[in-house]
Every structure is written in structure tokens, then in C-alpha cells.
Amino acid sequence: MTTLTSAAPSLERPARDSFWHRIAAQISDAISQGIYPPGERLPSEHALAELFGVNRHTIRKSLASLSSQGLVRVTQGSGTYVEDFAVELMLGKRTRHRHSLVQAGLRGGLQVLEASTVRANSAQAKALALPARSKLLCLSVLGEAEGQILHVSERYFPLPRFNGLDAVIADTGSITAAFAAFGLTDYTRQESRITAQTPSPVIAAHLRQPVSSPVLEVTSVNVDNAGTPVEFATTWFAGDRVKLTIRHDD
């Protein structure tokens, strides 16, 4: 691992109460130069204290300052990590994962983890305007960008209309492309409901984050041009990797 000593010259001898501020600035510079990339663990408090010739209390103040700026996150019992990059994703009338990534200058797509046929419960049937116990295609899907997992979702599609949709999504990495293969060339978002919560252990594992880190849960319904629901989804976004923007002009 590249060390901080290659990032900046040795510290001068400032007033003692400003040590932590200068150390924070030096670590911040190392992060901005890519010496410590997103997701990397910084040296331990003990190692940083020895490197800068200060006590661990001073290092804690420096790391707390960096944490308040959103540059690092402190994970109890594990260490201090450089924050992962945050991708801005748009929620609007036409919400498309891949299009949002293109706008952010990133590459990515969707990965189908599991596909099954289920019977609609009351919430799913209501959202999709179907009778209770109707057959649905259920997909567990990961959304990623540049190797970073951004979200995991459970998605439900009416059957038999979208029988085999999972295979097309697996091939293309895109729900939009899969819909197009089924003759649905356009669809719009009817509603999105957003809440913040702590994830279940399963969701946290998929997102590769601690259970203690919050996620943004978005429940959504998409409809075709006739207003018929075509997808009901619950998506959990990693709170430290995603910024959600609501658009009202599309």
C-alpha cells in the first residue's frame, strides 16, 4: 500500500493546537492526489501518530474533521476508510439506470442475481393493478458502476406478458433494452417513494457495507403508454455511494 510519506513533505512545527488541522489537510491532499483511493483503509491511528510525531488524540481530531467533510468514514473495530465516490442518479418521469450512468460519465449495468415465479401479495397486486395471487416474474437485481455496487432491488413484472424477460436483462444488463425486446419501447415512472433505513443483513451483504450504514429505499411503479403497470420495484441504494436527484421537467 502506498504510504502517506510520498504525498507531502514533513510537517513544520506549528502551534500545538493546530497540529490536527495541518495533519487533516495533509491527509486530504493525499486523498485528492489518489494516493489513498476510494474504499482504501488509511493507516492505523497508531501508525499515523508515529508518522506525524503526535499523540493518538491529535490523530483522532484530524480523522474526525475529515469524516465531517465526507472524505473518510470510521468503522468501529475495522479502521478508517476513504469514502467511495458518490454517483448522482436521477429519478424522474423516465428513470433509466444506464442513462444516469452515462450522464455521470460512468459505465455500468444491471446483473440478475435470481429469477423466480411468485404469486402476487396484496401490495404487489395493488401496485400492478392485478388480481391477488396473480403470477409475477420476480427478479433480484444488482446495479453497478465501474465495479462499485450502487443498489440492489427486488422487481416484479406481470406474467405471462413478460415471460422470459430475465434472460434478456441478463444478456443486455438493461431493463429498458429488455422491455424493447418485448415491444415496449417507452415506459414512465408513475410514482417513487423514498425512505431512509438500516438495511437487512442480506441487503447489506449485497451492497458490501455494514448493517449500521443507512440505505435509501425507493419503492416505484412504472407504467406503459396506456397507463398499465409493467413493473413494481423496491430498490435499496448504498447511502454513501449514491445521490438521488428528483427531476420534474421530463
Q: Where are the domains of the chain?
A: 4-82, 87-246
pLDDT averaged per 10 residues in sequence order, the chain, 250 residues: 45 59 88 76 93 92 83 84 76 84 79 97 98 97 85 98 97 96 96 94 89 92 97 92 76
Q: What is the pLDDT of residue 39?
A: 78
CA atoms within 13 A on the CB side of 112: 21
Q: How far apart are CA 95 and CA 220, in angstroms?
A: 10
CA–CA gap between residue 165 and residue 175 (Å, rounded): 8
Note the pLDDT of residue 250.
59
**Separation between Cα atoms, residue 5 and residue 218, nearest integer Å:** 43
Fold of 87-246: Chorismate lyase (3.40.1410)
Query: What pLDDT does 8 receive?
Result: 40
The three three-digit cell numbers of residue 19, written as one number: 497540529
C-alpha cell at 191: 410514482
**Contact of 85 with 148, CB cutoff 8 Å:** yes
CB 204 within 8 A of CB 217: no
CATH class of the domain defined by 4-82 = mainly alpha
Alpha helices in the chain (DSSP H): 19-32, 45-52, 56-68, 97-103, 122-127, 165-172, 175-181, 201-207
Pairing of strands 148-158, 188-197: unpaired
